[in-house]
């Protein structure tokens, strides 16, 4: 399945909607989007994940990359992760580095 990442930055909050599969082939695309938004010095990054269907090891590392690229002062919020994606994030402990929210809490 194809992957897409659409972003906008408003009032210090960068929001990126991810759709499809975040895996080896798409990780580079996501990383470029992260690099673009980090140039605008956001203080908060919101990733809308309800349409993300798969997260591979490369995809997870992209999230780690975002975390490290933006720095610890930037809160990262993952919204609406599907159960399998959320479980992968939890099992590898990355849930401690971010805030995970249900869609209604976004």
Partner 1 sequence: MSTAERVDSYPTHWIAGFGVRAGRLLPFGATPVPDGINFAVPSNHATAVTLVLYRRGEAEPLAELPLPDQFRVGGVWAVTVFGVDADTVDYGYRVDGPFQPEAGHRFDPSVVIADPYAKALTGGEEWGVRPRPYEPTRWRSRVVHDDFDWEDDRRPGIAHEDLVVYELHVRGFTRHHSSGVRHPGTFAGLVEKIPYLKELGVNCVELMPVFEFDEFTNSRHDPESGTWWYNYWGYSTVGFFAPKASFAATGAHGLAVDELKNLVKELHRAGIEVILDVVFNHTAEGNEHGPTISFRGLDNHTFYMLTPDGGYHNFSGTGNTVDCNDPVVRGFVLDCLRYWAAEFHVDGFRFDLAAILSRGPDGAVLANPPLVEALANDPVLRDCKLIAEAWDAAGLYQVGTFPGYRRFAEWNGRYRDVLRRFVKGDSGVVGELATRFVGSPDLYGDRAPAASVNFVTAHDGFTLADLVSYNDKHNEANGEGGRDGDDGNHSWNCGVEGPTAIPEVVRLRRRQVRNLLLLLLTSQGVPMLLAGDEVGRTQRGNNNAYCHDSELSWFDWGLVARNNDMFRFTRRALAFRAAHPALRRRAHLVGGQDVTWHGREPGRPDWSGGSRLLAATLSHGDDHVYVAANAHWEDVDVTLPTGFAWRLFADTGRDVVHEPGHEPAVRTPRLNLGPRSVVVLTARPDWPDTERGDGE
Cα–Cα dist 103/50, whole Å: 8
Give SS3 for 55.
strand
With a CB cutoff of 8 Å and minimum separation 6, the contacts of 28 are: none
* Sequence-ordered list of residues with C-beta below 8 angstroms from that of 91, at least 6 positions apart, any chain: none
Pick between residue 35 and residue 91 the one whose CB is nearest to partner 1: 91
- Residue 64 interacts with partner 1 (CB under 8 A): yes or no: yes
Binding track over 12-41 against partner 1, x by CB under 8 A: -----------xxx-x--------------
Q: How far is the CB of 10 from partner 1 (least distance, A)?
A: 27
Which residues sit at the interface with partner 1, rule CB under 8 A?
Answer: 23-25, 27, 56-58, 60-61, 64-65, 67-68, 87-88, 91-94, 96-97
């Amino acid at each position: 399945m194809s992957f897409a990442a659409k972003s906008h930055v408003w009032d210090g909050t960068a929001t990126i909607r991810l759709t499809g599969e975040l895996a080896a082939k798409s990780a580079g695309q996501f990383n470029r989007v992260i690099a673009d938004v980090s140039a605008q010095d956001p203080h908060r990054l919101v990733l809308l994940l309800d349409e993300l269907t798969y997260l591979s090891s490369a995809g997870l590392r992209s999230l780690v990359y975002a975390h490290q690229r933006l720095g610890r002062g930037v809160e990262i919020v993952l919204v609406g992760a599907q159960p399998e994606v959320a479980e992968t994030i939890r099992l590898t402990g990355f849930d401690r580095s971010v805030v995970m929210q249900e869609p209604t809490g976004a």
